Structure 1
Amino acid sequence: MERPKDDRRGHSGGAKSHRRHLAMYGVAGGLGAAILAVGAVGEAVAMVRDARLKPKQEALAPVTRERAQAVVSEATYGTGIVIEEEQIPPVPGSRDTKAYHIAKRVFDVAFSSVAVVVGFVPTAAICLLVALDSKGSPIYAQRRVGRYGIPVDILKIRTMVADADDVEKHLNPEQLQQWLSEHKVDDDPRVTKVGKFLRKTSLDEVPQFLNVLSGSMSVVGPRPVEPDELVAYGQSVAEFLSVTPGITGWWQVKARNDATYEDGSRQRLELEYIRDRSLGRDLLCILGTFHAMFGSTGSGR
C-alpha cells in the first residue's frame, strides 16, 4: 500500500476549509484490518494528533460513500468507520515540523551508512558463529506493523533455535502465558548460547540499519510490533502507528525489560516519545542505548 499523500489544506493561514474524508476510529486488531481494507479500494488512512494533542485525521484522500461502504463491509469488529465533513483550523506551534523530518531522515541515512560499513566484517563474523552454534539461516526477517499499519519485514540476526515459532514445543505453561501476554519470556529456552550474548548487547538488531536505509524504519522510534500487540494501545493505537518505528527508542532506554504491557508502562513510554519527539530526545535515546548495550541491563525486545 502506498503511503498516503499529505493534504494540509487549511493548516496554513487563517482560513478554514472543509474536506470530506474517511475517518477511522479503531481499537484492537480492527484498525490494522481496516487499513488493509482501505488499501484494497485504493485509499490509505492514518490518525494523528495535532500540536494540542487533539485527534486529527491527516493525509486522508477524499472518498465516496460507496467506497466507504466497501471498507465497512471488510473491516473487522471493533472498528468504526464513518464519512464526515471536517472543518480544519490552522494548527500552530507543532514541534513535529517538516524541518524535523528532513533532519531526522538525513541523520538516519548518515548514521546507518556508517553503521553498515563499519559493522560489515563484525556482522559477518557473528553470522558465522550463529551458523556454527545452531541450524538455520543466521539472518531472518520478522513481519511487523510499520507506520500507518503497513507491514514491515525487519531484519535480525537469529538468536533462537530454527523452530522457535513452535512455542508450545519449547515453553512450559507459565512461560507460554508470559509469551502470549508480553511477547517475551524470562530465561527463554529457545535462545541459543550465541543468541544470549547478541540479545544482551542488542547486536542482533544491527541488520535493521538496512531497514533504515530503505525508509521502512528509523534509528529512533517506537519498536515495531506484531498485529496482536496493538490491542494494548487501545484508543491510542492510531497515534502509535503515526510514527516510523525505530531500532531503539525511549522505552528501551528508560525501562528495557522492566516495561510491560500489563502495567501499561511500555505503552506510556512509547506514547511519551511520540508526543514529545525531537532531535534532542533522539540523541538521548542513542546515547542511552549505548549505555544499556554495554551496561548491566538486558535488551528490550
Structure 2
Amino acid sequence: MNQRLLRVVRLAAFGLDLFTLNLLVLLFQLLLQRTQGGEVVGYIRFWMWLNIAWMLVSNLGNLYREKSLASFEQFCRRTMHCFFYWLCLVMVYLFFARQFELSRLYIFLVLSGQGMLLLLNRFIYLGVRQHFLRRQYLTRKVMIIGFNDTAKKLATYLEEEDHYAEVVGFCEEEENVRELTHYPILGPVSESIATSRAHGVEEIYSTIAPEQDLGIYQVMDEADQLCIRFRVIPDLSYVMNRAFHIDYLNDIPVLSTRKEPLDDGGNRIRKRIFDIAFSGMILLLVLPWLVPLIGLLIKVESKGPIFFKQPRSGKNNQTFQCIKFRSMRLNDDAHHKQASRNDSRLTRVGRFLRKTNLDEMPQFINVFRGEMSVVGPRPHMLKHTDDYSKLIQQFMIRHFVKPGVTGWAQVNGYRGETTRLGQMEGRVKHDLWYAENWSLWLDVRIVFLTVWTTVKGDKQAF
C-alpha cells in the first residue's frame, strides 16, 4: 500500500470536511448579513468553536484513521456519530456562552448544511477511493508462507477485514498441500523472496515459526534488505485454545488473557482528567441547587437523612461508601435486599428519583474523590459481590477498573433489579467488554446514551 498516498487521502478527507464547514459559515454570513443583529465577535467565537469541536470529536472518534477509511460503511457510521456529538458540543457552547445575539436562522442553516455536505463528501470520498483501488494505488500485495489452518484463517481475515490487502498466494512445499486452495501455491518456502519480488509483494506473513524451519531467518533478513515487511504469526493452538494478547517487557514477550487499555498510565490520566472535569462541573453547577431542593422533598415525606451511604465493592474489590439520595424509608434490609419494582420501602419521592436517575447524582462526589469514575461497571452491594462471584466465573474481573455512575451494561438494557442469573451474566459480559475496549470516546458516547435513555424513558428504571 502506498502509505504516502494514504496519508494524503486522510488529510484530504479531513481538509474537505473543514473546508465545507468554513465555506458554509462564510456563505451564510454574507447572505444573511442584513438579518444579523449581533456583534462580529460573537460570530467569530462561534466560528472558532465550530472548528474546534469538529477537530475534537473527529480525533476522539478516530474518524480519519486508516481502519475507519478502509470501509465506506464504517466511515459513514463514524461520521454520523461524530456529527451527532459535534451538534451536542455546539448546543452546549450556545447554552453556556449565552450567544443570544446570533441569528437562529444562521445557526440552523450552518448546522443542517454541514450535515448534508458531510454526506456529499462521503460520496466524493467513495468515488476517489474506488478510483485509487482500481488503479491499485492503495492496495498492498501480501504473501503467506505456509499452508495450514493458521494460514487459511489469516487469508480469510485479510480478505474480509483488510480492504487494502490483496493476497497473492501461499509459499509451501508441494508435498504439504493436500487440498484445493483459494489462492495459488506460488512456490516452495526456500524461494519466498524471489517469488515475492516477481509478484511485487510488500508484506510477507509467515505462519511457520523460525524454530520450525531455520531457513525462515534467512528469508527475514533478505526481506529487510528489500524493504519488504516481514511478520511472523506463531501457531499456539497446540498449547492454548483461547485468544491471548501479547505485550513486551523490553524484549520479553508477555501473554495476557485480555487487553486492558486502562493498564496504561497515560490512559488512566486521561480518564481521571475527564472524571475530575465532569464531576467538578456537576458539583459546581448542579448539586448546589439540586441538593437543597431534593433534600427538602425527602425530609417532608419521611424521617431520616437526605443521603444514603452504602458499602459497595470498588476497584480491586476495595470497599467504599457509595453516596445516593435516600429513596426508601429507613429499614433493616437496605444493605442486603435489592430494590424491586413494587417495593413497599420506596417513597413517592424515591420512586421519582430512581426513575429519573436523580438518586445517583451524589455519586459524583465519589467520582471527584477518586472512588468511582463517571463511566464504569456499576458497583454492587457487598452481599451481591460475594454471592455472584461464586456463581459467575469471570465476575470479579469487572473490579479491575473503577466502578461508574453509569456504564456500558446500563445503556444496553442491563440496569435495575437482577432476578435471574442470566441478567447478571449479561451485565458482566458488557462490563468486561467495556474494560477491554475502553477509550475516552467510548466514555463520552456512554454519557450521551445515558442522558438520551433517561430523557426517552427506561422501562428498567423504577
Structure 1 residues 300 and 250: CA distance shift in structure 2, 3 A: farther
For 1:234-273, list aligned pairs within 5 A.
234-257=392-415, 260=418, 262-263=421-422, 264-273=425-434
- 1:60-84 Cα deviation digits (max 9, x unpaired): xxxxxxxxxxxxxxxxxxxxxxxxx
Moved more, 222-231 or 118-127: 222-231
Letter of the 1:250 partner, please give it. W
Letter of the 2:346 partner, please give it. V
SS in 1 for 2:393: helix
**Aligned length, in residue pairs:** 208
Q: Is the 8 A contact 1:145 1:152 kept in 2?
A: yes
Q: CA deviation at 1:164?
A: 5.7
User: 2: distance between equivalents of 1:299 and 1:118?
Assistant: 28
SS in 1 for 2:430: helix
Q: Is the 8 A contact 1:219 1:248 kept in 2?
A: yes
Q: CA deviation at 1:259?
A: 7.8
- Is 1:199 equivalent to 2:340 in the alignment? no
Match of 1:125 in 2: 293
Match of 1:101 in 2: 268
Unaligned runs of 5+ in 2: 1-246
Structure 1 residues 131 and 254: CA distance shift in structure 2, 3 A: same
User: 2: distance between equivalents of 1:256 and 1:133?
Assistant: 30
For 1:28-177, list aligned pairs within 5 A.
50=256, 52-53=257-258, 95-96=261-262, 97-119=264-286, 120-163=288-331, 165=333
User: 1: distance between equivalents of 2:332 and 2:352?
Assistant: 18
Match of 2:228 in 1: none
Match of 1:85 in 2: none
User: 2: distance between equivalents of 1:150 and 1:258?
Assistant: 23
Return the TM-score normalized by structure 2: 0.42
User: 2: distance between equivalents of 1:258 and 1:205?
Assistant: 12
Q: Is the 8 A contact 2:373 2:404 kept in 1?
A: yes
- Is 1:14 equivalent to 2:251 in the alignment? yes
Q: Greater RCO between the two (CA within 8 Å, min separation 6)?
A: 1
Match of 1:288 in 2: 449
Structure 1 residues 162 and 184: CA distance shift in structure 2, 3 A: closer
User: 2: distance between equivalents of 1:287 and 1:95?
Assistant: 21
Q: CA deviation at 1:256?
A: 4.2
User: 2: distance between equivalents of 1:154 and 1:236?
Assistant: 23
SS in 2 for 1:244: coil
- 1:211-242 Cα deviation digits (max 9, x unpaired): 11111100000011122323324331331111
SS in 2 for 1:247: strand
SS in 2 for 1:126: helix
Q: CA deviation at 1:144?
A: 0.4
SS in 2 for 1:155: strand
More helix by percentage: 2
Return the TM-score normalized by structure 1: 0.63
> Over alpha carbons, which structure has the higher Rg?
2
- 1:180-229 Cα deviation digits (max 9, x unpaired): 6xx34122111111111100111111111111111110000001112232
User: 2: distance between equivalents of 1:259 and 1:159?
Assistant: 15
> Identity, % of aligned pairs?
31
Structure 1 residues 300 and 153: CA distance shift in structure 2, 3 A: farther
User: 1: distance between equivalents of 2:260 and 2:324?
Assistant: 35
Letter of the 1:12 partner, please give it. L
Match of 2:388 in 1: 232
User: 2: distance between equivalents of 1:240 and 1:108?
Assistant: 19
SS in 1 for 2:324: strand
Unaligned runs of 5+ in 1: 1-9, 18-48, 54-92, 168-178
